Structure 1
């Protein structure tokens, strides 16, 4: 919000004009929002800028710290000599010891509001010039989708938040209280519904821009979260008619050659070939590897991740054990860096091994890492991977869940089993239960292994009412295994299901209230 306010003040100062009437000439070097949008291309550039903000929302460190490390899917490599503020704060999020001063959770809030701010400028100025109906719909459909996506992230992680559906132009419009969660969801549904109406169905290969299929998937996800299962079913069934399909092999969904392909519903775009590579590349895999002086054995590129980015989002044994025998997703999702840790908890890799039935070689240890984001690249800490937000397999699982929750368990099974048949390579592992409760448990586990490391697990645990029970039990195992964990860690209560509103925002805006427990 601080960035929003600074931007607003800048706009206001740029817009200030002299009261002397004879000074009527516009300064060509003084560009204001009111004078910027002159052509359709100006709007298209602004839309690109709104998409760019999603990188910070879905693929920065707070995204996987809050979405995966907060859950039973991932942990971290503890380094006793590294007690830097960012490191300690990231550990705290994973261990449920974070507070309102934590510096690892505000970036998600900031990124979401940056995206919302970028969208609102476009919405407010869409009538500045005459556009064809097709162009206007394409622009508005995309940005309404982006804004709905941003608010959906905010409301699930923070609860009710301030709603800005237009760019605020003064203090009274800027410093506003939190809306209720339901009010936020109402805006999300309105935006996503408008996006569905305005966007075109996908064509393949896709461009990476939002489509009607992406908007319907978002809408179905929202309705499922709100337990409006019939509406979720209606939205998601439309997506199944739009030409999406599963690749034959699970790992193919993450190959660079399949970006925006048949299984992609919406993904965050990265391209290491652009002129400013550092600003347009994904570096997630380097965050997920152990701290190493030289990453060549694992990545093929020499990079020192000891003091920079490594040691996080480490797959837990609990997750590895969740994969059934014969599930090809385990080998495609998780690999083992084999080697040794030194006295300062840094790692030297000597080989990369499969995670299936892994046993370390004598004198070696195996450190698992998310393999699905490791692909060929040439510059350390800069890769060409896109980040998946929605894949078609998730559409099928969301649809199966919405059907099962309505008691249509038999109708749900084909959608679930389509995902499992791809995972196992046959129909021998199909689920046949006719019990609604049993199938719901199966679906939650299926989402865990299908969508591992895609920042879904924590939200799934909260959405299904399993977070407190699952994470407290997981914490008992964690504390038995890791002596460095503090006694108060993994004390998961109702208050811990939301993250704190960033303290800086509360100090800046006295109308904001903090979440309980913080």
Structure 2
């Protein structure tokens, strides 16, 4: 982050040192900051630039969420001990340090997004077009800024609050604000976004943030702060905006059903919209690493699987046996979420696929092993060597229903309507129980309903279950794999937060005090 701001500051200082009466170096056919931010279209482009880091965040987010929990693990790769593999393994094993590039990338990309939103938010009031046109632009920028800060504060604790465009070197160095101060800003931004954005005009939606997205974000903030009544009030407004559950669980992830009524906010991939047209590389990263993954792809591309080599990118976010065992009999979300790649490992520790199998009642063929993989994002590759056509969900309506059930239960109210809606779609029934028992039922529902959507770690921390859950999972995992180090999965209070990136501490030692334990 500081590197970005320092570059911006140097550019700003250099620009101000040149006088127009000396020489005018600005090409008349090019834009600079002073001339670009004028029209609605130009501000729209600037807002789109603020969405773009969401994709960069997602490339690392699953390491700090699903893999940093009991939901998924990694495929060991003893043939390659480069730092890129070791760093990612360390996040999963809870042994990461302040120099871990993959954990630090989440910090870097979120602050990149924040810096872009700040430019829009600060420059928009001076624009001369109608206030009604400005409102949604400001609302989207504030939603994004709130989202980026919300992700950061939960991972790192107190943060430097950058709320204005950095224009000189001094602006680039701030002390860490308190957690309460960061949350106050998140809430302020989310409230502004709710007031400035409209509900979805139709379904499928455009992909841009809406009043519903800002409402869901603020509700989750309130739930994190255990302000249950405030969260409940917000969540109860979403159905009137047109949101609802799709008939089938798998429909929420199908590329033919993007931005549906169940989608509150999702990151866009290859859908032809102005938000971006790049394919989604994540599904290939979630398959066992191999020189040929065509057998799995054939199952989703009418039998015509491309020979794609993911040996340098795959092997991550493998569903844990603990998660698989947690699905109840008859839960249709299991088959929709997880598949089995069957085959063998060669002497280079690469997987040689022989079949793609259903996880339901799976038994390995003789001489073969079955490796579970995330199936819910595995659809037709539209760029055969780059990725798939799948969007990535940030907030879904089922998430809102389960958060509503939790908020109601914590207040002593009945959560059965919201909870039963989610479980009924999964093919399950719900028996009423006391609030203490229902707390565990709701937590279980969030785990399986939202599996691989990057909620699990935050849910464990929010509910106070992270330490006991992760340490128990580590004990169980040691009986299943042989690659864990002695300090893996030894979670304590300090490790509930990630360390501040070391380069931030070194650039600003008086303002960026490292988190305890690192």
Q: Please, which of 421, 425, 428 is the counterpart of residue 422 of structure 1?
A: 425
Cα separation, 1, equivalents of 2:115 and 2:286:
31
Is 1:46 matched up with 2:57? no
Is 1:269 matched up with 2:268? yes
Aligned partners of 1:160 and 1:181 also within 8 Å = yes
Cα separation, 2, equivalents of 1:86 and 1:459:
24
Q: CA deviation at 1:30?
A: 6.6
Superposed CA offset, 1:207-262 (max 9, x none): 00011111100010000000000100111111121111111110011000111111
Aligned partners of 1:3 and 1:114 also within 8 Å = no
Q: Secondary structure at the match of 1:238?
A: coil
Q: Please, which of 358, 379, 387 is the counterpart of residue 375 of structure 1?
A: 379
* More moved, 123-132 vs 178-187: 123-132
Cα separation, 1, equivalents of 2:3 and 2:273:
26
Q: Which residue of 2 aligns with 1:517?
A: 517
Q: Which residue of 1 aligns with 2:295?
A: 297
Aligned partners of 1:274 and 1:280 also within 8 Å = no
Q: CA deviation at 1:9?
A: 2.6
Matches within 5 A, 1:478-493: 478-493=477-492
Per the normalisation by structure 1, the TM-score is: 0.95
Aligned partners of 1:37 and 1:128 also within 8 Å = no
Cα separation, 2, equivalents of 1:261 and 1:275:
18
Structure 1 stretches lacking a partner, 5+ long: none
Q: Which residue of 2 aligns with 1:4?
A: 4
Aligned partners of 1:272 and 1:383 also within 8 Å = no
Cα separation, 2, equivalents of 1:24 and 1:284:
46
Matches within 5 A, 1:122-141: 122-141=120-139
1:20–1:489 CA distance, 2 compared to 1 (3 A): closer
Aligned partners of 1:282 and 1:386 also within 8 Å = yes
Cα separation, 1, equivalents of 2:145 and 2:474:
35
Cα separation, 1, equivalents of 2:116 and 2:507:
21
Q: Which residue of 2 aligns with 1:235?
A: 234
Cα separation, 2, equivalents of 1:126 and 1:272:
28
Aligned partners of 1:389 and 1:454 also within 8 Å = yes
Superposed CA offset, 1:14-53 (max 9, x none): 5324357465795526743222112111001101111112
Instruction: Let me know the Cα RMSD of the aligned residues.
Output: 1.8
Aligned partners of 1:288 and 1:313 also within 8 Å = yes
Q: Which residue of 2 aligns with 1:431?
A: 431
Per the normalisation by structure 2, the TM-score is: 0.95
Q: Please, which of 342, 349, 356 is the counterpart of residue 346 of structure 2?
A: 342
Q: CA deviation at 1:273?
A: 5.9
Q: Please, which of 177, 194, 197 is the counterpart of residue 195 of structure 2?
A: 197
1:273–1:191 CA distance, 2 compared to 1 (3 A): closer
Cα separation, 1, equivalents of 2:30 and 2:41:
20
Q: Please, which of 308, 313, 324 is the counterpart of residue 309 of structure 1?
A: 313
Q: CA deviation at 1:431?
A: 3.1
Q: Which residue of 2 aligns with 1:164?
A: 162
Q: Please, which of 130, 148, 151 is the counterpart of residue 150 of structure 1?
A: 148
Cα separation, 2, equivalents of 1:339 and 1:26:
61
Is 1:389 matched up with 2:394? yes
Superposed CA offset, 1:486-511 (max 9, x none): 11111100011111111111111222
Matches within 5 A, 1:93-104: 93-104=91-102
Aligned partners of 1:3 and 1:110 also within 8 Å = no
Cα separation, 2, equivalents of 1:234 and 1:262:
20
What is the aligned residue count? 508
Structure 2 stretches lacking a partner, 5+ long: 298-304
Q: Which residue of 1 aligns with 2:404?
A: 399
Q: Secondary structure at the match of 2:205?
A: coil
Aligned partners of 1:15 and 1:32 also within 8 Å = no
Cα separation, 1, equivalents of 2:272 and 2:38:
30
Q: Which residue of 1 aligns with 2:34?
A: 34
Cα separation, 2, equivalents of 1:276 and 1:328:
32
Cα separation, 2, equivalents of 1:11 and 1:348:
51
Q: Which residue of 1 aligns with 2:302?
A: none
Cα separation, 2, equivalents of 1:484 and 1:114:
35
* More moved, 217-226 vs 347-356: 347-356
Aligned partners of 2:51 and 2:275 also within 8 Å = no
Q: Which residue of 1 aligns with 2:15?
A: 15
Aligned partners of 2:379 and 2:390 also within 8 Å = yes
Q: Secondary structure at the match of 2:236?
A: helix
Cα separation, 1, equivalents of 2:352 and 2:98:
36
Q: CA deviation at 1:6?
A: 3.9
Cα separation, 2, equivalents of 1:20 and 1:224:
54
* More moved, 215-224 vs 506-515: 506-515
Superposed CA offset, 1:388-430 (max 9, x none): 000000010011111111111x2x1110110000001xxx612
Q: Which residue of 2 aligns with 1:461?
A: 460
Superposed CA offset, 1:342-398 (max 9, x none): 122211111111111211111111000000000011412321111100000001001
Q: Which residue of 1 aligns with 2:84?
A: 86
Cα separation, 2, equivalents of 1:208 and 1:273:
11
Q: Which residue of 2 aligns with 1:250?
A: 249
Q: CA deviation at 1:172?
A: 2.4
Cα separation, 1, equivalents of 2:98 and 2:22:
52
Cα separation, 2, equivalents of 1:111 and 1:320:
32
Q: Secondary structure at the match of 2:373?
A: strand
Q: Which residue of 1 aligns with 2:301?
A: none
